[in-house]
Amino acid sequence: MKNRFVFFDSTPTDRRYFTQHLAAFNAELSFYQEPLTEQNIELARDASVISVHVPSKITAALLHSLPQVKFIAARTTGYDNIDVQAAKHANIIVSNVPRYGENTVAEYTFMLLLALSRKIVPSIEQGKSGNIDHTTLTGFDLNGKTLGVIGTGSIGQHVIKIANGFSMPVIAYDPFPNAELENNYNLRYASLQDLYATADIITLHAPYTGENKHLINSQAFAKMKKGAVLINTSRGELIDTKALVAVLASGKLGGAGLDVIEGENLLSLDEETELLLQPKKRGFDCAIEQMLLEKMPNVIITPHNAFNTTEALLRINTTTLENISNFFKQMPTNTV
């Protein structure tokens, strides 16, 4: 009997790549653009391998209904969308892509920061309308501003290197400080409280663990400098969105660049429609919070797109292919 590999959250590029490179496995391959959910679980029936991206939420209940699955290939670095403990209990191996977008996401982080600091969005809008008022487009230099980096893993390290190029002093927080990084770059490690009080710009590059949900909350905002800017290209759950709306509305926070946000699935029209038809209280809260943020001139929201370059996508698929291949060689790699 052929093995069946099922890819969710997939693109035409994914289909072409894996169809070509998995041919030697003589497996049945299926590709679906939509995420795997308990509602469409029949699509994964008889699959020995499933591969998913962030939108697929792999719960214990879902895994219980797929007893034939032996391997989950996450095409992401973060894997908080997968109940890893439930997978281990079911003897399912889970692998991720630990390194693919260090420079990619770091570059996007600075794209958001530069767009905010130089008011790119209103500048484009005024240029298109012809109603130009330079007094409303005054920005600020990055040179000399202190950047606070929360999380100095591979992406955070690239952010720090780029910051050095802008002559920005860096203050960082990480439970596991990197002495070599501190010695080689204009960086000092400090407590979160010190970082909040010192940084002109704060950028998040920490994984979401559940324990650090709403790491950036009303108490954290209260400690920040007036006019500070917040960037998040990590996970939306790290920020209490209601507190973010309040601190932006008060004028305490100078702006926010968000590639990730709580309930980010609601950025899709289909998901918004589903929420209207099947209301859930927290879902409505997220939708209202997002609507308010979208109306604020000092906020940029993008749809979890920091990873999305041709080079990064190739690295994701190459590592995923290696993970699948090594699983069948009984030498699993990048397990979580």
CA distance 227 to 252: 6
Give yes or no for a contact between 52 and 35, defined as CB atoms under 8 angstroms apart: yes
pLDDT of residue 272: 41
State residue 28 phi and psi, 5-degree precision: -80, 125
The residues, ordered by sequence, that sit 6+ positions from 250 with a Cβ below 8 Å of its Cβ are none
| Beta-bridge partner residues of 172 | 149, 189
CA distance 292 to 110: 24
pLDDT of residue 288: 83
User: 4-100+310-328 architecture in CATH?
Assistant: 3-Layer(aba) Sandwich (3.40)
pLDDT of residue 273: 40
Give yes or no for a contact between 72 and 82, defined as CB atoms under 8 angstroms apart: yes
The distance in angstroms from the start CA to the end CA of the chain is 29
Same topology, domains 4-100+310-328 and 102-301? Answer is yes
User: What are the residue ranges spanned by the domains of the chain?
Assistant: 4-100+310-328, 102-301
CA distance 172 to 190: 6
List the catalytic residues: 235, 264, 304
pTM for this model (two decimals): 0.87
Per-residue pLDDT of the chain (336 residues; tens, 9 = 90+): 689 999 999 999 999 999 999 999 999 999 999 999 999 999 999 999 999 998 999 999 999 999 999 999 999 988 989 999 999 999 999 999 998 989 999 999 999 999 999 999 999 999 999 999 999 999 999 999 999 999 999 999 999 999 999 999 999 999 999 999 999 998 999 999 999 999 999 999 999 988 999 999 999 999 999 999 999 999 999 999 999 999 999 999 999 999 999 976 544 444 444 434 455 555 567 778 888 999 999 999 999 999 999 999 999 999 999 999 999 999 999 999
Domain 102-301 grouped into CATH 3.40.50.360: no
pLDDT of residue 264: 67
